[in-house]
Structure 1
Amino acid sequence: MENIISFKGKVKYTITLDPGVWIFDDRRVDLNTYFDNEAENKNELEEYTKAVSKHWDREIMEGAVFPPTLKTEKKFEKEKVLTGTFGIPFKPFLLNAEPDKNAESLIIESEDGEVQLPLSQAEDLILGFSNEGKPLKSDGPVHVYLGDGSNKNNPIKRVKAFRVE
């Protein structure tokens, strides 16, 4: 149970986070390249439209059967999951907990002490949960990266809980 992280404080819902299941989450990001790319506001509708368009184009060009390229893409994706270094955006968890309207900050509780951030900055956090395909056992269960990547070489480690104040 040392891998379970509690989310508490001035929130409507106290939730628990289990980093062990995030490897299957489609929201995961590759930490090797995430901070190298320019931060861009992603329009979900636009991304969905592009994905559907790409699929439609593929069906027109190749037919509705599964061409061999799809099999190799699945194999590549599986290989990437088994060897990749991944993180997940913190914002969905923060929104699910529903912070009180008068809440101002997020406190990250770790074995090394506490770090306080304004809620606006907390929305951009990335929680690293995997390094080269392995869970973060020695200094995990998660590493907390600031959204701008300024601490990508020295993330907050040994996180035990998140507390909204």
Structure 2
Amino acid sequence: MIVQLAGNVKFPLTLDASVWIFDDRKVEFDKAFNSNDEQEENPEDELEKASNRWNREVYQQKLNPPVNKSISKYERKKILDSTYVMNIKPFLETAEVNESATAALLETENGEEEITLDTLKDGYFLFAVEGKPIKEDGPLHFYFGDGSNKNTPVKGITGIKIK
């Protein structure tokens, strides 16, 4: 489940896609490829959910000692039933891609596939199907940001090398 992000970066990263299910930056698969109008509404919804969660936590801490109850039963059930993707852009920013970089190699079990750096930044990695990590043809599948390869993603990604 570990994927290396290395190559023409200042700080190579080791990505563990099995913990992304708990990351607030994940996006439901179906929502990732919706039109721009619908995507613009989504950040506000996420912000409102985060705000409500924060308010619950602050209120709880005033009344009781801190207890890990940040995810409601409904949210937990939804997490375990949904299919999720993650955009790689925040990880590329953390790795600090060098200015000379122009492309990325997606290393798979069957070889390598080269894509532009912009395509990588705009794309999504599928990491969970119905709340479970991808075991077969995993740990990651890559989808273009526009969803044009929705039926034929790059499967079995085991490494990302920036060129």
Give the TM-score category using the shorter length. 0.7 to 0.9
Kindly state the Cα deviation for residue 118 of structure 1 after the two structures are TM-superposed: 1.4
Partner of residue 104, structure 2: 106
Q: Deviations over 1:1-41 (max 9, x none)?
A: xx110011110001110011000000011003321x11367
Residue 73 of structure 2 corresponds to 75
Q: After the TM superposition, which of the residue ranges 17-26 and 104-113 deviates more from structure 2? A: 104-113
Q: How many residue pairs end up in the alignment? A: 146
Matched to 2:135, the amino acid is: K
Deviations 1:76-122 (A, max 9, x none): 21111011101111101111111111111111111122111111221
CA distance in 2, matches of 1:47, 1:154: 31
Aligned to 1:149: 147
- The within-5 A match list for 1:15-164 is 15-35=13-33, 37-39=34-36, 47=44, 51=48, 74-164=72-162
Q: Which runs of 4+ in 1 moved over 2 A?
A: 39-43
Structure 1 residue 42: deviation in Å? 5.2
Q: Which amino acid aligns with 2:136?
A: S
Q: Supply the AA of the counterpart residue of 2:140.
A: V
Higher normalized strand content (fraction of residues): 2
The runs of 5 or more residues in structure 1 that have no matched partner are 56-63, 66-70
Rounded to whole Å, the distance in 2 between the matches of 1:133 and 1:51 is 23
TM-score, length-scaled by structure 2: 0.79
C-alpha change, 1:103 and 1:26, in structure 2 (3 Å) is: same
State how far apart, in whole Å, the 2-side matches of 1:104 and 1:32 are: 29
Q: Structure 2, unaligned stretches of length 5 or more?
A: 53-58, 61-68
On the 8 A contact 2:17/2:139 being kept in 1, the answer is yes
What is the alpha-carbon distance in structure 2 between the residues aligned to residue 112 and residue 8 of structure 1? Answer: 19
C-alpha separation in 2, matches of 1:31 and 1:160: 20
> Between the two proteins, what is the percent identity of the paired residues?
40
> What CA distance in whole angstroms lies between the structure 1 residues aligned with 2:36 and 2:127?
21
What is the TM-score with the length of structure 1 in the denominator? 0.78
Q: Which residue of 1 aligns with 2:63?
A: none
**Cα RMSD for the two superposed structures:** 2.8
- Amino acid aligned to 1:164: I
Q: 1:130 is paired with a residue of what secondary structure?
A: strand
Supply the distance in 1 between the matched residues of 2:31 and 2:118 (Cα, whole angstroms): 24
Whether contact under 8 Å (2:107, 2:161) holds in the other structure is yes
For the Cα contact (< 8 Å) 2:86–2:125, is it kept in 1? Answer: yes
AA aligned to 1:107 is L
